[in-house]
Amino acid sequence: MTRWLDPDEQRTWRAFLTASRALMATLDRELQRDAGMPHAYYEILVRLSEAPDRQLRMSDLADATGGSRSQLSHAVARLVESGWVRREECPTDRRGQVAVLTEYGFEVLSAAAPGHVDGVRRHLFDPLSPAQVDQLRRISEALVAHLEPDRPTS
């Protein structure tokens, strides 16, 4: 038997969808305008910048960004064309490849980061009270724990 959403749950669901889409669309538009890259590319560059030696196996990068391997491969190909990333053969697995953040890519990321962080602050954190920020973090961690139980929450 279907457990239909009650009116309050329906309002919450729709508000969550609308807010999530609007936030990501706004951040994506701002990154495109200010840094010439979509949010998905920015996230790839960030993940690489935080990795040891600024490199990750393509499969690990796909897992970290939550995209499919084919989507990631296409995105990395565009980042390679831009000179922001290079691909190398994986030294431990002949079938694997490693994405490496170039120095130029790190410079591009460093230039884009202040504006993006400002956007995240203005569009996500500034409208919320400290208690709401704490609630949002707890809610998000609970959802991740349920949906991706093997993923660390921090």
Residue 151 has pLDDT above 80, yes or no: no
What pLDDT score does 154 carry?
56
What pLDDT score does 113 carry?
97
Q: Is residue 147 part of a domain?
A: no
Q: What is the CATH number of the domain that holds 102?
A: 1.10.10.10
Q: What is the pLDDT of residues 82-99, one digit of tens each?
A: 999 999 988 777 778 999
Contact (Cβ atoms closer than 8 angstroms) between residue 15 and residue 5: no
Q: What is the pLDDT of residues 53-70, one digit of tens each?
A: 999 999 899 988 887 888
Residues contacting 77, CB < 8 A, separation 6+: none
Q: Is residue 108 part of a domain?
A: yes
153 band by pLDDT with thresholds 50, 70 and 90 = low
Q: Which two tokens stand for residue 5?
A: 């959403």
What pLDDT score does 42 carry?
96
Q: Is residue 131 part of a domain?
A: no
Q: Is residue 122 part of a domain?
A: no
| 73, containing H or E segment | helix 69-82
Angle 79-68-104 (CA atoms, 0-180°, nearest 5)?
15
Domains of the chain: total = 1
Q: Is residue 63 part of a domain?
A: yes
Q: Is residue 150 part of a domain?
A: no
Q: Is residue 129 part of a domain?
A: no
The boundaries of the domain holding residue 34 are: 22-116
In 9-152, the DSSP E strands lie at 55-57, 85-89, 97-101
Mean pLDDT of 129-135: 97
d(CA 44, CA 61) in angstroms, rounded, equals: 7
Mean pLDDT of 11-16: 97
Residues contacting 136, CB < 8 A, separation 6+: 128
Residue 48 has pLDDT above 80, yes or no: yes
The residue assigned the tokens 């724990």 is: 145
Contact (Cβ atoms closer than 8 angstroms) between residue 98 and residue 85: no
Q: Is residue 103 part of a domain?
A: yes
